[in-house]
Amino acid sequence: MLKRSLLFALFLVSAGAHATSWDDVVDRAFDSMQDDLSENFAYTETQRNSDGVSIRRYDPRLAQELQWKLESVDGREPTSEEAEKFVQQKKKMQRNKPDDEGGDIEAIIAEGSLELINETDAHWLFSFKPSTDSEEEADFMRSVDGTLMIVKDGHYVSQLTMQNSKPIKPGKGVKIQEFRVTMTFAPLQADGPTVPRSVQTSIQGKAMLVIKINESEAVEYSDFDIVAE
């Protein structure tokens, strides 16, 4: 009996140490991440959705009213109306941004939910449950699972994905059959920092039984200039 108890105790210590080590692995990968670009980088944003393709440029070194610029729409120069509407939309988004919103993407992982599901010579792959801030978010995210890939060479997050495992019913008469968000990251150079490279979203479902919901969008980030350390 004593021997069995000692073996069980050793197992618990070993399991606890292993869990802590994975937390350390993830913390280290997130430490180099710059997922909030607004203060430290100028960059180009290319958006593709059902409305077409638009290319935008952001530069925090410019006066506030000039920081965002719509450079092209479907390969052509934007009209003055399109350019003005785009700038106003960006200003509205900035005004509505919560004061405490920043670059803490690690907070999306619910405490205690991280689990290693695969390891190769090149990467670690973890599963997790998304964290939520409200009961409304919790109802939506209850059916959503996440995965996190960390590249060993350079030790950075390369991909974060969230996808539903069963239909989501966010409100009366609305049923989401597919919800998927995939974010990719990569270092600007060998020693970092790590920045977002793309965000892809897809939502499919129905509203009031007959109205189809089919929204997809891809945003790519490129041409980075570091403007602050």
pLDDT of residue 40: 86
- List, for residues 17-53, the tens digit of each pLDDT value: 444 468 889 998 988 887 678 888 999 999 999 999 9
| Residue 196 burial by Cβ neighbours in a 10 Å radius (0-12, 13-18, 19+) | buried
Partners of 220 in the beta sheet? 46, 198
Q: Is the pTM of this model over 0.85?
A: no
pLDDT of residue 207: 87
pLDDT of residue 229: 57
pLDDT of residue 6: 37
- List, for residues 183-210, the tens digit of each pLDDT value: 999 998 877 789 999 999 999 999 877 7
Among 52-56, 147-151, 173-177, the least confident range:
173-177
3-state SS of the chain is CHHHHHHHHHHHHHHHHHHHHHHHHHHHHHHCECCCCCCCEEEEEEEEECCEEEEEEECCCCCHHHCEEEEEECCECCCHHHHHHHHHHHHHHHHCCCCCCCCCHHHHECCCCCEEEEECCCEEEEEECECCCCHHHHHHHCCEEEEEEEECCCCEEEEEEEEECCCEEEECCEEEEEEEEEEEEEECCCCCCEEEEEEEEEEEEEECCCEEEEEEEEEEEEEEEECCC
Residues 6+ apart with CB under 8 A from 216: 49, 50, 200, 201, 202, 203
